[in-house]
Structures are given as structure tokens and as C-alpha cells.
């Protein structure tokens, strides 16, 4: 039998699932409060968190460098369940194409995707631009005559929808990258920029108030929350892109903990109240768990690389 001294000298190793239960889990959000990724994180854990008894969650916004700072913090955290994060899927693929990043997109632990929010282009209510064709015509007449603010910055879906429209029309707008939706919306409303690019789910309040108009939504079909807004394809531009936003962890998280968290999201997604409350919060749902989420991430990564090969961008463009 081991002696008392030997037992006292033996390190106590708490299983990861128990450690996560014993401590508050940080949910890192790589963007400022109030944006699409921030809302998905808080909404997702408001529902899934109740199915993880004993676990507590603290939301930590780590904005900067178009999400790079927060993405790196998620990826390089200790994989013991005390840190997870929310992200916009495209950014983990685009940023390593343009600059050094401390992560490998394929190695994030995929827990659950929550939303796929179509990209959109918006103008002030009093803008002379009424349709996408008006925007394209203005830029064909005079390149860089129209400024477009991309809410989540370079490499985001807000940026890539503009690049995709440029790809199919050969226009050249003046692109202004932002570090958050609220900032881009502010400058759109004050007239500092002509057009803003952000997601349809982020637009509903301003649309209802009549302060902005949508030129188009980059979806295959019209999202029910903005059913009055035509798609890019309806207007003759084959551009489909949006923001898939979900919950991930660092690489090598313990499998039992990963499955526990995935199961909590499965249960949340199956609850009818989840869809009802998502509609109230203007969240275009695309619930995917585990491998299905991973497959979506991989497909979007391949699309990003193909666009970059045709129309490369840099950190400053």
C-alpha cells in the first residue's frame, strides 16, 4: 500500500470535463460587442449552456486585426475546455492567405455552427443608388467613385462579397475596411461612406426604421427575415456568400468533452423554442454539429482559395 507521503506527493490530475465544470469557461469573441459573431456566441450558449450543468461561461471580446487577435487566442489556448470561442468561418481561411497567422484552419475543434447569414450591400435611405445595377453603372462610369465600407474588415465575408461582385462585373470601388459592424453602420448613416457591406441579420433594425435600404442580399434565395430584398442572382449577378458563425475550440480538446458540448448544441437545436427565439433575434439559422460543421468549414475554405487565386487581396486592400 502506498505511504501517506507517497500519496501526498502524487499530482492530482483532474479530468478535462471535470476541470471545465469546476472553472468558468471563457468564450472568446474576436469582434466587438453587438456584431454578428458576438450575438451568435451569447445566443448559442444561452441555449446550449443550460444543457451543460455545472459549467459557467464568461464572454470575452478580443477584437482587432479583422478578428485575427481573437482567432489566435482561441486556437492557442490550453485544450482543457476552459477556453472555447465563436468565429466567422471565412476569416480563419482568408487571413493566412494574406499574412502570417498562428493557427491552422483545419485544426480548430468544430463544435457547432449556428448561423449562416447572407451578405448584403446597404445604402442610406436617401441614396441615389436604388439597385445593384445603379452601383455597377456608377463604378463603370467612374472607377472608385463609390466608397464601400466592409464591416468586418479585410478577408471577411463583408469584403469577399465586394470582391466577388468585382469579379463578375470588373468594377473598382473604393474599399474601406472596418473593425466592426457598428462602426460601418455609423459611417454609412453619417454619409462618410456611400455603401456598407454587412450581413442581412445585422440590418433588420435599421431597415425597419427606414434609415437604410438594401441593394441586394447574396443568398441563393431570399432570407425570410428580409424577404422584400432581392438576391444578387435575381438582379443578374451570380454572387452567393454569407457568414457562417459557430462555436469552436482549440485543437486536441478531450473527445469526451467535445462530445458533451456538441450534444448540448444538438439538444438546443432540437428545441422548438430555439428557432422561435432565433427568428426574434434576426438570426438566419444553419444548425450543424461536429463533422457536418467541419465539412462546411472545409468547403468554404476551398471556395476562399479559389477566389484568392482569381482575385488576390492583401491586408491593406
Show me where the domains of the chain are located.
15-116+243-310, 118-241
- List all residues 6 or more positions away from 215 whose beta carbon is below 8 Å from its beta carbon: 120, 121, 122, 123, 129, 130, 131, 132, 134, 135, 195
Could you report the per-residue pLDDT of 138-192, keeping only the tens digit for each?
A: 999 999 999 999 998 888 899 999 999 999 999 999 999 998 889 999 999 999 9
What pLDDT is attached to residue 69? 96
CA distances from 163 to 65, 66, 67, 233, 296 (A): 19, 16, 19, 16, 21
Phi, psi values for residue 38, rounded to 5°: -60, -45
Examine domains 15-116+243-310 and 118-241 and report if their fold is the same: yes
pLDDT for position 34: 85
DSSP one-letter string for 54-98: T-EEEEEE---GGGHHHHHHHHTS-SSSSEEEEEEHHHHHHHHHH
pLDDT of residue 17: 52
Predicted local confidence at residue 259, as pLDDT: 98
Whether the Cβ atoms of residue 208 and residue 201 lie closer than 8 Å to each other: no
Whole-structure pTM value:
0.83
> Which grid cell sits at 135?
452601383
Residues 132, 298 contacting (CB under 8 angstroms):
no
Pairing status of strand 24-29 against strand 83-88 = parallel
CATH 3.40.1790.10 fits 15-116+243-310, yes or no: no
Q: In the prediction, which pLDDT does 317 show? A: 57
pLDDT at 22: 59
Contact, 86 vs 44, CB < 8 A? Answer: yes
Integer Cα distance of 288 and 202 in angstroms:
21
- Nearest by Cα to 285 from 162, 151, 112: 112
What region does 195 belong to: left with phi over 0, alpha with psi -120 to 50, or beta? beta
Closest CA to 90 of 28, 168, 37: 37
H/E stretch holding 114 reads strand 109-124
Q: Please state, in angstroms and rounded to a whole number, the distance separating the CA atoms of residues 59 and 38.
A: 9
Identify the CATH number of the domain defined by range 118-241.
3.40.190.10
Average pLDDT, the chain: 92
Max distance between CA atoms of the chain, in angstroms, equals: 88
Q: Are strands 109-124 and 242-249 parallel, antiparallel or unpaired?
A: antiparallel
Report the phi/psi class of residue 19: left, alpha or beta, with left for phi > 0 and alpha for psi in -120 to 50: alpha
Question: What are the per-10-residue average pLDDT scores of the chain (317 residues)?
Answer: 37 47 87 89 97 96 91 97 95 93 98 97 98 98 97 90 97 93 95 97 96 98 96 98 97 97 98 96 95 97 95 75
Q: How far apart are CA 254 and CA 84, in angstroms?
A: 13
Amino acid at each position: 500500500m502506498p505511504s501517506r507521503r507517497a500519496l501526498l506527493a502524487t499530482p492530482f490530475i483532474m479530468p478535462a470535463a471535470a476541470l471545465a465544470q469546476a472553472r468558468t469557461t471563457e468564450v472568446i469573441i474576436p469582434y466587438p460587442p453587438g456584431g454578428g459573431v458576438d450575438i451568435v456566441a451569447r445566443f448559442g450558449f444561452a441555449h446550449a449552456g443550460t444543457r451543460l450543468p455545472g459549467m459557467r461561461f464568461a464572454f470575452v471580446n478580443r477584437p482587432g486585426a479583422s478578428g485575427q487577435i481573437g482567432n489566435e487566442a482561441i486556437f492557442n489556448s490550453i485544450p482543457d475546455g476552459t477556453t472555447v470561442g465563436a468565429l466567422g468561418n471565412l476569416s480563419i481561411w482568408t487571413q493566412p492567405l494574406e499574412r502570417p497567422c498562428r493557427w491552422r484552419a483545419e485544426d480548430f475543434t468544430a463544435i457547432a455552427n449556428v448561423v449562416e447569414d447572407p451578405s448584403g450591400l446597404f445604402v442610406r435611405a436617401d441614396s441615389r443608388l436604388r439597385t445593384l445595377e445603379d452601383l455597377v453603372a456608377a463604378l463603370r462610369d467612374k472607377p472608385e467613385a463609390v466608397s464601400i465600407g466592409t464591416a468586418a474588415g479585410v478577408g471577411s465575408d463583408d469584403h469577399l462579397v465586394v470582391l466577388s461582385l468585382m469579379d463578375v462585373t470588373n468594377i473598382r470601388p473604393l474599399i474601406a475596411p472596418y473593425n466592426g459592424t457598428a462602426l460601418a453602420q455609423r459611417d454609412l448613416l453619417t454619409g462618410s461612406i456611400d455603401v456598407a457591406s454587412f450581413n442581412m441579420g445585422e440590418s433588420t433594425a435599421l431597415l425597419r426604421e427606414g434609415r437604410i435600404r438594401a441593394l441586394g442580399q447574396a443568398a441563393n434565395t431570399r432570407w425570410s427575415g428580409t424577404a422584400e430584398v432581392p438576391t444578387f442572382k435575381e438582379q443578374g449577378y451570380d454572387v452567393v456568400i454569407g457568414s457562417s458563425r459557430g462555436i469552436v475550440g482549440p485543437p486536441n480538446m478531450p473527445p469526451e468533452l467535445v462530445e458533451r458540448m456538441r450534444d448540448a448544441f444538438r439538444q438546443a437545436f432540437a428545441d422548438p423554442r430555439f428557432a422561435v427565439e432565433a427568428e426574434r433575434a434576426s438570426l438566419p439559422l444553419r444548425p450543424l454539429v461536429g463533422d457536418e460543421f467541419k465539412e462546411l468549414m472545409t468547403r468554404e475554405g476551398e471556395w476562399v482559395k479559389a477566389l484568392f487565386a482569381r482575385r488576390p487581396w492583401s491586408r491593406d486592400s
